[in-house]
Amino acid sequence: MRTKFDEQLGQLNDKLVEMGAIVERAIADASKALISQDVELARKIIANDDNIDDMEDMIEDMCQKIILRQQPVAGDLRMILAVSKLITDLERIGDHATDISELAIFLADSKSVGKLEHVPKMSEATLIMVTRAIDAFVRKDLVLAKEVIDYDDVVDDLFSMVKDDVINLIKSDVAHIDHAVDLIMIAKYFERIGDHATNVAEWVVYSLTGESKHGFAKPEH
C-alpha cells in the first residue's frame, strides 16, 4: 500500500516540477519579448497560458484523489495540501507573464522600454525567486525556502528603482509620458510575481514544519 502511495507522491512531484519549469520559461520569455520587442514570442507566451491553467487543474485533481484514496496524515498530508495551494500561485505567475507579454506587444515600437535599466534586473530577480522556491520544495530545503522569502526585499527595492527610472524618463522627454502607466504596470507585474514566489516558499515552510501564515493548522499524527 505504501509503495503505491509513494509512487503517487512521486508522480505528483514530477508534475509540479514540470509546471514549475513551464512557468519559469514563461517569465524568462516574457522578459525577453519585452526587452527585445519580440511580438511573435509575446504571442506564443499568451497562447501557452492555457497549458499552465490545464496543469493546475491536473495537479489539483491528483491532490484530491490522493487525499481521498490514501487518507494521508502528518507530513504527507501537509505536503499534498501545500502542493494544492502553491500551484495556484504558479498559475497566477503564469497570468502575470501573460500580462507582461500583452504590454510587450503594445510597446513593441516604443523606445521607452530600452531605457529602463532596472526592468531586466527585476525580471532576473523574480526568476531566481521562482526557481529557488520550486527547488526548495523538491529538495525539502527549509533554509532555501526562507532565503527566497527574504529575497523578496530585493524585488521590492528594484520596483522602486523602476518607478524612479520612469519618472526620470518622463523628465528627459515628455513624449514618454504616454507609456508611463504601462511601464509602471510591467514593474508591478514583476513585483507580484515576486509576491507569489514568496507564497510558494511559505507553502514549502508549511509542508516541512506545519507553520503557516495562511491559516492552515498542522495535521495531527
Q: Compute the distance between CA of residue 20 and CA of residue 86 in angstroms, rounded to an integer.
A: 10
- The predicted structure's pLDDT at residue 214: 64
Do residues 63 and 130 make contact, with C-beta atoms less than 8 angstroms apart?
Answer: no
E strands present in 31-96: none
- As a whole number of angstroms, the longest Cα–Cα distance in the chain is 69
Identify the CA nearest to 183 among candidates 170, 198, 173. 170
Q: Return the C-alpha cell found at 219.
A: 495535521
Cell of 67: 487525499
- 69/76 Cα distance (integer angstroms): 13
pTM score of the predicted model: 0.91
* pLDDT value of residue 4: 87
Question: What residues contact residue 167 under an 8 Å CB cut-off, 6+ apart?
Answer: none
Q: Rounded distance, CA 216 to CA 177, Å?
A: 45
Length of the chain: 221
Structural contact between residues 218 and 82, judged by C-beta atoms closer than 8 angstroms: no
Long-range contacts of 68-75 (CB under 8 A, 24+ apart): 70/5, 70/8, 72/5, 73/219, 73/220, 73/221, 74/219, 74/220, 74/221, 75/207
Q: State the pLDDT at residue 78.
A: 94
Domain 2-209, second-level architecture? Up-down Bundle (1.20)
Domains of the chain, by residue range, sit at 2-209
Residue with cell string 485533481: 61
Closest CA to 154 of 134, 185, 132: 132
pLDDT for the residue numbered 220: 45
Give the span between the Cα atoms of 57 and 88, in whole angstroms: 10
174: which DSSP letter? G
pLDDT tens string, the chain, 221 residues long: the values are 578 888 999 999 999 999 999 999 999 999 999 999 999 999 999 999 999 999 999 999 999 999 999 888 888 999 999 999 999 999 999 999 999 999 999 998 888 777 778 889 999 999 999 999 999 999 999 999 999 999 999 999 999 999 998 888 888 877 778 788 898 999 999 999 999 999 999 999 999 999 877 655 555 44
